[in-house]
Amino acid sequence: MTDQPVINVLYVDDEQHNLDAFKAAFRRNFNVYTAPSAKDAEVILSKEDIHILITDQRMPVTTGTELLSEAVKKYPDQIRIILTGYSDIKCLIDAINKGHVYQYLEKPWDETTLKEVIQDGYKAFELRRKEKILLAKMEQLISQRV
């Protein structure tokens, strides 16, 4: 039996029923955090090691893209996903360019697909962390030789 990693997922959406549905769907597979706003999300992000950040795009005050563009500065290894009910090409371009989005998905989500995206995203997250560790070790070895 292999140990499954604990994957911390934060889902941000201004609609409470979406937060409840997400938590109900994925709480058995992941350690799920939810936030009704970008401001609440920032509090969780500052306290928890969130591996996957999923956000709705259209929210009052701060959009999902704005949240992701701030998150990428503080948590560059984190995997970022936009989950939205609106197909907006400008939003998609902004999400990719500013928020370094791993995946852009439309609501309503398919539970199986979203679960796979989260699991694949976590693999990418782990690879990023391992790459940083290896690069640090290489730099240390190089500096010792100089």
Q: Is residue 60 part of a domain?
A: yes
Q: Is the pLDDT of residue 4 over 80?
A: no
- State the chain's mean pLDDT as an integer: 90
> How much of the chain, in percent, has pLDDT values that exceed 70?
91
Instruction: Look at the alpha carbons of 105, 118, 76, 136 in this order and tell me if their dihedral is positive or negative.
Output: negative
Domain-embedded: residue 24: yes
Amino acid identity of 83? Answer: L
The pLDDT of residue 138 is above 60: yes
8 A C-beta contact, residue 80 and residue 53: yes
The answer as to whether 1 is a domain residue is no
Number of domains the chain is built from: 1
**CA–CA dist 126, 124 (Å, integer):** 5
Q: What is the pLDDT of residues 82-132, one digit of tens each?
A: 988 776 677 677 667 666 888 888 889 999 999 999 999 999 999 989 999
Whether 87 maps to a domain, the answer reads yes
Question: Is 140 within a domain?
Answer: yes
Cα 37 to chain center, whole Å? Answer: 15
Ramachandran quadrant class, 100 (left: phi over 0; alpha: psi -120 to 50; beta: rest): left
Task: Provide the domain limits for residue 30.
Answer: 8-145
Residue 103 lies in a domain: yes
Name the residue with tokens 């997250």: 125
Sheet of strand 31-35: strand arrangement: 31-35, 8-12, 52-55, 79-84, 103-106
CATH number of 56's domain: 3.40.50.2300
The token pair that represents 92 in the structure block:
């998609």
- State pTM to two decimals: 0.88
